[in-house]
Amino acid sequence: MNLSSLTLNHHHHHYPTTTFVHKKLTPHSSKHSTSFSPIKMSLTENAPSLAIVGVTGAVGQEFLSVLSYRNFPYRSLKLLASKRSAGKQITYEDKPYIVEELNEDSFKDVDIALFSAGGSVSKKFAPLAVEDGAIVVDNSSAFRMDDGVPLVVPEVNPEAMKHIKIRSGKGALIANPNCSTIICLMAATPLHRHAKVKRMVVSAYQAASGAGAAAMEELELQTREVLDGKEPTCKIFKQQYAFNLFSHNAPVLPNGYNEEEMKLVKETRKIWNDAHVKVTATCIRVPVMRAHAESVNLQFEKPLHEDTARDILKNAPGVVVIDDRAGNHFPTPLEVSNKDAVAVGRIRRDVSQDGDYGLDIFVCGDQIRKGAALNAVQIAEMLLK
């Protein structure tokens, strides 16, 4: 992938409360862009039937955008949400849909169900969907560490779900990893395959979108309030977010790590199928709208020169290298917002380690896109192969 695919395209994101309109988007346009490519209808009689759970949320809306621009085939589409959102209208590919209330009977005749409505909803309804024969791709943390549930990044470990077949008469669960894990492993895995990572230290700078559409709205509101000299509204977070940063708002565990940090540790081990790889993480919430940034330090079993690493990453699927030392131009959250690719830069030898056994890299990726919706849709696409 070349740098031209990461042209700047940043917009404020508002998630309406009543009517949503989705048209066919180009792969690198914002879903609020006014420029649309010609519509290619994905509605196909012999295609799978789809359901989206949590469709009115930030990731649910992104599901629709990604399905549309990737021209995902479907014969029917069921949009599901809470009772509060039921009855709202969403126009998708020029066809109006009414959001239905999620219930125990929602998954009759559904082949693929994309879930992004939180862990408690997934725990209650995903098993019911599986019982009805659906393949569930779940974006919550509810099943990620369960034995027998594949935890998949298609560019990293597609083999983990090879046994799952659509329309086999048997439903199944596939878990979408945490956003910070996906973004990190998109960059670290190609290097891991070449030189085997012994230890990985991650510092993650996480955007508002990771806490949902309401957090994005609060960040924008707080920014306006602070600039106007007003007291900031703190409903989603317990402290000022605008012009500030703080330790990730996930609960802190007895070992001193928060849940977000331990997700990165445990999920990496499962995805790499390596219980012994050493991973530590620090996760910080920063006042950025929708793309995460991560500083990643890698220690290898085999030597890996920084130039070789750069070449490996340039050829890695779903990765773009932005590593201009002369121009001091490296990945930024703004540049990857609304983009599919994970950007990597600051590729350099770790001078604290002898020889070429360590590297530092800096990674940015759109938390809603590759960190959630795109990864889930790519999983669904693999089911069609």
Per the CB < 8 A criterion, the answer to whether 54 and 118 are in contact is: yes
User: In the chain, what's the furthest Cα-to-Cα distance?
Assistant: 62
What DSSP letter does each residue of 192-224 carry, written as one string?
HHHH-EEEEEEEEEE-GGGG-HHHHHHHHHHHH
Give the predicted TM-score (pTM) of the model. 0.89
The domains of the chain are located at 3-176+371-383, 181-369
Catalytically active residues, by annotation:
179, 292
Spatial distance between the Cα atoms of 302 and 156, rounded to a whole number of angstroms = 20
User: What's the rounded Cα separation, in Å, for the pair 42 and 365?
Assistant: 27
Taking CA atoms, 248 is separated from 101, 239, 245, 260, 344, in Å, by: 32, 12, 9, 7, 23
Contact 120, 141 (CB under 8 A): no
Dihedral sign of CA atoms 73, 144, 276, 356 in order? positive
For residue 92, the model assigns a pLDDT of 93
Residue 370: DSSP 8-state: I
- pLDDT, residue 42, reads 72
Residue 22: its pLDDT value, please? 56
Nearest to 119 by CA among 279, 293, 250: 250
What is the spatial distance between Cα 206 and Cα 367, in angstroms, rounded to a whole number? 8
Q: How far apart are CA 303 and CA 347, in angstroms?
A: 15
pLDDT of residue 169: 83
Angstrom distance (rounded) from CA 57 to CA 289: 15
Give the list of residues 6+ apart from residue 228 with CB closer than 8 angstroms, or none. none
Q: What is the pLDDT along the chain (385 residues), one digit of tens a residue?
A: 443 333 333 333 333 333 455 544 333 333 333 222 334 457 788 899 999 999 999 999 999 999 999 999 999 999 999 999 999 999 999 999 999 999 999 999 999 999 999 999 999 999 999 999 999 999 999 999 999 999 999 999 999 999 999 988 899 999 999 999 999 999 999 999 999 999 999 999 999 999 988 999 999 999 999 999 999 999 999 999 999 999 999 999 999 999 999 999 999 999 999 999 999 999 999 999 999 999 999 999 999 999 999 999 999 999 999 999 999 999 999 999 999 999 999 999 999 999 999 999 999 999 999 999 999 999 999 999 8
CATH code, 181-369? 3.30.360.10
Q: Crossing angle of helices 58-69/213-227, nearest 10°?
A: 110
pLDDT attached to residue 355: 96
Question: Domain 3-176+371-383 belongs to what architecture?
Answer: 3-Layer(aba) Sandwich (3.40)
Asked if residue 126 lies in contact with residue 171, where contact means CB atoms within 8 angstroms, the answer is no
The two tokens of residue 168 are 């086999």
- Residue 348's φ and ψ, nearest 5 degrees, are -155, 155
